[in-house]
Amino acid sequence: MAERRKTITIRDIARQANVSYQTVSLVINNKPGVSDDTRKRILRLMHDLDYRPNRAAQMLTTNRSRTLELIVVDVQYGGRLADSTKNMVHIAKQSGYSLLVSETTRDELEAALQNAAARLVDGVIMYAPRLRMEDSQLLHLCGGLPLVRRDYTPGSKLAWVGFDQVYATRLAVEYLIELGHRQIAAIPPDSELINGYWRYTTWKNVLLEHGLEPGPAVAGDYSMKSGYEAAHQLAEMGVNFTALLVGTDGMAFGALRALGERGIRVPDDVSVISYDNTELSSYTQPSLTTVGFRFIKQDELAVKYLIELINDPEMELHQRVLMPDLIVRESTKPAVPK
């Protein structure tokens, strides 16, 4: 039978280093008041003896759990959520934190936040692409727990990190107009989604600003299947369009398949532009012109902003708005005069 490993305690470290228990505690919690030589000697002993800090004791000393929580609210189609979660876990770990992940609905959000507080997490990142809620109500639900939303929520004065969806859509539509397109259809995400609302509204407003009649539009739900079905519906309407704005790359993959099945050539007959700049967008046939979002930057900023709020409870809340880029590829071309 294997011999059970002896648990090394702070007192063991203190005894071998010939210092007090309190001195070792200061080193473990990265506090001042210890000389450099003593600190190095204690850290070397901790490594040599394979000392593992007692998290419960640390929480009592520092009033911190070094744990964050990502709460995902009413996400019906995950898309690239797995990648973002992995990114945020990595950034949290680099910053000395663990990241828990939980899923809930709007109706159960209060209970989810109460559970987060009961788990003694230091703060919450919320990904809630459908959640429209007054700042005062959300603050009440948080009960003092630091919160950063990983969503574009203009109008909210709470802490959030998101890409400017109005600018992103204007970038795409005005590019199509510059190419000479005048009949521009759309497959936006459903308007229940915050991004979907802004993409649909801005598409329509930009066209009207340029004196153009918005083309037909059929909403999707972020999935490839919805893009595929919406493109078929648009074709069946019998309304001419020379360009198509699709709400995500994934939806555009489905739309490209549907247009091909109907003998509609991209970009010769219809130019297609989408959003996200996912890896696959450069490998489709033709490759997709897309509005590029650097999601890894959004993930990083959300975690780091939350840690800043934890470390400085008096920090004035603000919004970190990211600007996308237009990535031009093969799925768009100048309109053919008719």
- pLDDT for 37-46, tens place per residue? 898 888 888 8
| Domain assignment of residue 3, yes or no | yes
pLDDT for the residue 330: 98
Same domain, 140 and 169: no
Q: Which of 96-100, 232-236, 291-295 has the lowest mean pLDDT?
A: 96-100
Same domain, 134 and 252: no
Identify the bridge partners of residue 160 per DSSP, sorted by sequence position: 149, 319
Same domain, 191 and 284: yes
**Cα-Cα end-to-end distance for the chain:** 85
| Domain assignment of residue 61, yes or no | no
Same domain, 255 and 317: no
**pLDDT tens-digit readout, 130-153:** 999 999 999 999 988 999 999 999
Could you tell me the CA-to-CA distances from 204 to 227, 281, 289, 327 in Å, in that order?
Answer: 19, 25, 20, 22
Q: Answer yes or no: are the C-beta atoms of 321 and 168 closer than 8 Å.
A: no
Same domain, 147 and 169: no
| Domain assignment of residue 192, yes or no | yes
Q: Regarding beta strands 147-149 and 98-104, do their DSSP bridges make them parallel or antiparallel, or are they unpaired? A: unpaired
Residue 49 has pLDDT above 90, yes or no: no
Give percent of the chain above pLDDT 90: 74
| Domain assignment of residue 335, yes or no | no
Q: Which of 117-121, 124-128, 169-173 has the lowest mean pLDDT?
A: 117-121
* CATH number for the domain that contains residue 33: 1.10.260.40
Residue 2 has pLDDT above 50, yes or no: no
Residue 4 has pLDDT above 50, yes or no: no
Please write down the HEC assignment for all residues of 146-192: CEEECCCCCCCCCCEEEECHHHHHHHHHHHHHHCCCCCEEEECECCC
| Domain assignment of residue 329, yes or no | no
pLDDT for the residue 3: 44
pLDDT for the residue 234: 97
Quick one: average pLDDT of 299-320?
94
pLDDT for the residue 338: 61
Same domain, 236 and 129: no
- The pTM of the full predicted model, rounded to 2 decimals, is 0.81
pLDDT for the residue 6: 61
Same domain, 191 and 279: yes
Same domain, 212 and 268: yes
| Domain assignment of residue 76, yes or no | yes
Same domain, 208 and 289: yes
pLDDT for the residue 80: 80
Tell me how many domains the chain contains.
Answer: 3
Same domain, 142 and 238: no
Phi, psi values for residue 320, rounded to 5°: -110, 105
pLDDT for the residue 202: 98
Same domain, 194 and 130: no
Same domain, 242 and 303: no
* CATH number for the domain that contains residue 111: 3.40.50.2300
Q: Answer yes or no: are the C-beta atoms of 125 and 69 closer than 8 Å.
A: yes
Task: Please give the residue range of the domain that contains residue 267.
Answer: 165-293
| Domain assignment of residue 157, yes or no | yes
| Domain assignment of residue 233, yes or no | yes
| Higher pLDDT, residue 192 or 2 | 192
285 C-beta neighbours (distance < 10 Å), count: 10
Residue 1 has pLDDT above 60, yes or no: no
